[in-house]
Amino acid sequence: MSNYISSTEETPINIINVEELEGRVEARMEPGAFHSIRGGAGNEKTLQRNITAFDDIGIISRTLQDIESASQKTSIFGIDIDYPIITSPVAAQELLHVNGEKDGMKGTNLAGSIYVASTYTNFTIDEIRQANPDGNLFFQLYMSKRDDFNDWMIDKAVKNGAKAIVLTCDAVLGGNREWDNRLKFQFPVSFGNLAEFYQEDSGVGLGIATIFAMAKQNLALENIKYIKERSGGLPVIIKGVQYPEDALAAIEAGADGIWVSNHGGRQLEGGPAAIELLPEVAKAVNKRVPIIFDSGIRRGQHIFKAIASGADIVAIGRPAVYGLNLGGAQGVQSVYEQLGKELNIIMMLTGCKSIEDIKTKGKLTNLK
């Protein structure tokens, strides 16, 4: 792992709000590694908008709703989770913590939720599972130009008990990450799955562009069927959907879930906030399959707004790995707890006793 020194923290973390974690992490990491995680595409206005656009949506408080307490428990594909939150696939978590994805998954499972392992993990999916024999795991696939890699990778995911395959579709090539270019960032850490398949230490010294060069560009609807068959019928979730017709086409082609996302503002520059795109997609999907939402979730109020806008659950990327950096698995768990604590207040003040209540009686108003 070259000379890169990663975090070894293992502790619950004190959180005032999740937005503040970014500054705390920045103070501890090498700039190149930090910005490779934090950064977005182009002028980063989509990245910023992902968060600020939530301010254009107002939640309306409700009174005399006879609410004693609120439950955040929900489920997806039959898997019960304690919060309407799962952990987004984030590549290269060894940059953030020596235990990388092993602790990422451990913390997520401590919080009673589902960990989505990226294709581009530093630890192999076997190592991640070995460190977490019992937790809930989804596998996120970046399809390769090489079919044998795809076969091998899906087989691995199935063998390690992944309960769904997430196909990322908004990254057929790398986004224009100015900070990676400015700092000439090269990964100082190896990518476990790639290294094992290619029989070489394929990560160290690679830039993000090289990584993406291995990836398949021409993703198409037919890939859904392939993944489903190869995985023996696992649910397939299409990640990166922004356009209603694309969601419908994917469902028609067999998709079991739609993940509305703009990749945390890291891929397409000049786009809307992800939350601005959610209502139209949700309207089109019309509850036929579950909708996962990510890109910009930093507060409990954001979760409420996303669910009241049509999502079933949300996913967190940077917040989870910032927690990982600051406290290892327990840090990840602290992030879930903070978001859960904040969401609980919103639910109580809006008279929502359950996640289902947010969907049906949560009142939003346009503040633009």
User: Residue 130 or residue 217: which is nearer to a second copy going by CB?
Assistant: 217
Question: In the bound complex, what is the minimum distance in angstroms from residue 322's beta carbon to a second copy?
Answer: 17
Contact 89, 166 (CB under 8 A): yes
Question: In the bound complex, what is the minimum distance in angstroms from residue 129's beta carbon to a second copy?
Answer: 28
Please tell me which residue in 35, 97, 263, 302 is annotated as part of the active site: 263
Q: Are strands 165-168 and 236-241 parallel, antiparallel or unpaired?
A: parallel
Cβ neighbours for 169, distance < 8 A, ≥ 6 positions apart: 219, 238, 239, 240, 241
Tokens of 26: 């920045």
Decide: helix, strand or coil at residue 364. strand
Question: In the bound complex, what is the minimum distance in angstroms from residue 12's beta carbon to a second copy?
Answer: 15
User: Residue 71 or residue 176: which is nearer to a second copy going by CB?
Assistant: 176
Question: In the bound complex, what is the minimum distance in angstroms from residue 242's beta carbon to a second copy?
Answer: 5
Cβ neighbours for 255, distance < 8 A, ≥ 6 positions apart: 224, 236, 237, 238, 289
Contact 331, 9 (CB under 8 A): yes
User: Residue 11 or residue 217: which is nearer to a second copy going by CB?
Assistant: 217
User: Residue 65 or residue 186: which is nearer to a second copy going by CB?
Assistant: 65
Question: In the bound complex, what is the minimum distance in angstroms from residue 68's beta carbon to a second copy?
Answer: 4
Give 43's Cβ-side CA count (13 Å radius). 4
User: Residue 52 or residue 286: which is nearer to a second copy going by CB?
Assistant: 52
Measured torsion, CA atoms of residues 243, 247, 248, 254, in degrees rounded to the nearest 10: 160
Decide: helix, strand or coil at residue 137. strand
Determine whether 263 is an active site residue. yes
User: Residue 96 or residue 339: which is nearer to a second copy going by CB?
Assistant: 339
Question: In the bound complex, what is the minimum distance in angstroms from residue 308's beta carbon to a second copy?
Answer: 11
Q: Which residues pair with 258 in a beta bridge?
A: 238, 291
Spatial distance between the Cα atoms of 269 and 258, rounded to a whole number of angstroms: 21
Tokens of 143: 């399809």
Contact 255, 224 (CB under 8 A): yes
Q: Are strands 313-316 and 85-87 parallel, antiparallel or unpaired?
A: parallel
Would you please indicate which residues are annotated as catalytic (active-site) residues?
A: 263
